[in-house]
Amino acid sequence: MRYHRIPDESVRRLPLYLRALLFATHDRESISSGALADVVGVNSWQIRKDFSYFGELGTRGVGYNIEKLKKHIRKILKLDVLHKAVLVGAGKLGSAVLLHRGFSVYGFDITAVFDNDPKKIGRKLGDTVIQSVSSLHTLKRRNIDVGIIAVPGDVAQQTVDALVKTGVKGILNFSPSYISVPKKVKVLTIDIAMDLARLPYYMPRNHGAG
Amino acid sequence: MRYHRIPDESVRRLPLYLRALLFATHDRESISSGALADVVGVNSWQIRKDFSYFGELGTRGVGYNIEKLKKHIRKILKLDVLHKAVLVGAGKLGSAVLLHRGFSVYGFDITAVFDNDPKKIGRKLGDTVIQSVSSLHTLKRRNIDVGIIAVPGDVAQQTVDALVKTGVKGILNFSPSYISVPKKVKVLTIDIAMDLARLPYYMPRNHGAG
DNA sequence: CAGTGTGAACAGTTTCACAGCA
DNA sequence: TGCTGTGAAACTGTTCACACTG
């Protein structure tokens, strides 16, 4: 089956595997699909299938070499190069995201922060001075890949439009609204409230099915 | 096709529809699948299919009555009753989540906050006094549905175990680790860094396919 | 006649069972 | 012997075209 297109659902699981490989303490050089399965909560055959999409990577009877596997997943996900990101929106959620520490391990560097509140502009958030959103255009030619937006829903679209003009190719959207972008730009939306809203469906009401 | 099991992917989209119906300004009583499609970024036939799973709801030639639709989606998602939630972990992310305002519209009320940092215990976060995680057990019989955890990965499992003992039926997990729970408890995990890690895969490297 | 509802074709994903190899 | 790699089957979800109806 060598060199197949990788299904989106497999791509969704790759960061999960990578996270486990990065953070688990490994006394061994190799890990089997079964052992990895226990750590990530995915079936072993699903893991093997996922890995099989990028060629024969494991050793029969042994498992997968951990370093090789990390390297391979990073390459597939294009995390083998540094990605520069900017944050727009220095409110509670934006601040939490910026200070989150945990992006760097995947090769992301948040190099600038923007807000439209005059009281915040010039103040520091972590090591970064907050700039006015009106100076977003200065980002052109600074090789920024990724925009992270954490602004109110009603200004999300205009914020994204400005970001797209600076040349970002991907946007992580924490704003609670649908935004439209040119086809060449990829948006991933995380709406915490919406995810929470999906939870009760799966909870038994009193006793009975969900 | 009346009274079919609702596919998980449809359930995933329901909060999206509900969000649009709640926040859009409606001059009309009804909305067509096409108009809703423009607002949420989902095809009109997908929307009609999703709605068809819960019986005939629309009026041919007109569309869907907005109030009726909201009510119906809320009922399906079990958002028609108030859900009491607690937060464990009053760090940056936890605080942002608590102060987020936007859960209440879906019928959630965060009634208590816990942390294990002695410096934080007794201080207020919003209107809520932070309590010690060691007093989590006092929640039993207080009708708490949902636990939200935003603690470091290495204490996530023990935090969840304590929460499960208090009787929560659903957990929203912001900790970057896989947690295991009894079958009767549903976990949804949001790992911001992992989502960000998935973004570059879909971005063109220089020019070319993603 | 505008817009819903849906069977049927199609596409994508997961599961299984087991051959193949270190 | 233990664990990978993978076709094929089973399952799940999406798209389409159009009959139907207020």
Q: pLDDT tens digits, residue range A79-109?
A: 999 999 999 999 999 999 999 888 999 999 9
Of the partner residues A78, A148, A153, the one whose CB lies closest to the CB of residue B201 = A78
- Tell me if chain A has a CB within 8 Å of the CB of B175: no
* DSSP-derived 3-state class of residue B136: helix
Strand partners, B148: B87, B172
Instruction: Determine whether the interchain pair A97/B18 forms a contact, defined as Cβ–Cβ distance below 8 Å.
Output: no
Can you list the pairs that A39-47 forms with residues at least 24 positions away whose Cβ atoms lie under 8 Å? Answer: A39/B178, A40/A13, A40/A16, A40/B178, A41/B178, A41/B180, A42/A13, A42/A16, A46/A13, A47/A17
B7 DSSP 8-state letter: P
CATH code: domain B8-76 is: 1.10.10.10
**pLDDT confidence of residue B2:** 54
Nearest to B83 among A108, A200, A210 (CB): A200
State pTM to two decimals.
0.95
Residues of B in contact with A105 (CB under 8 A): 193
Q: Do B193 and A100 touch (CB under 8 A)?
A: yes
* Residue from B59, B98, B63, B79 nearest A197 by CA: B79
Chain B residues lying within 8 Å of A24, measured CB to CB: none
Portion of chain B with pLDDT greater than 70, in percent: 96
CB B41 under 7 Å to nucleic chain D: no
In which band, very low, low, confident or very high, does the pLDDT at B141 lie, cut at 50, 70 and 90? confident
Q: Do the domains spanning A8-76 and A83-195 agree at the CATH topology level?
A: no
CATH code assigned to B83-195:
3.40.50.720
Q: List the domain boundaries for chain A.
A: 8-76, 83-195
- Residue B63 pLDDT greater than 80, yes or no: yes
Residue of B196, B202, B206, B207 to mutate, testing the A interface (most A Cβ within 10 Å of its Cβ): B196
Q: Is the pLDDT of residue B208 over 50?
A: no
Instruction: Yes or no: say if B53 and B6 are a contact pair by the CB < 8 Å rule.
Output: yes
The distance (Å) linking the CA of A50 with the C1' of C4 is 40
Phi, psi of A144 (to 5 degrees): -85, 125
The C1' atom of D16 and the CA atom of B45 lie apart, in whole Å, by 9
In this complex, the nucleotide whose C1' atom is nearest to the CA atom of residue B31 is C3
pLDDT in tens, B23-57: 877 688 999 999 999 999 999 999 999 999 988 89
Q: Of B156, B71, B148, B65, which is closest to residue B103 (Cα–Cα)?
A: B148
Whether the CB of B89 is less than 7 Å away from nucleic strand C comes out as: no
Nearest-CA residue relative to C1' of C16: A45
Tell me the shortest Cα–Cα distance from A40 to chain B, in angstroms: 6
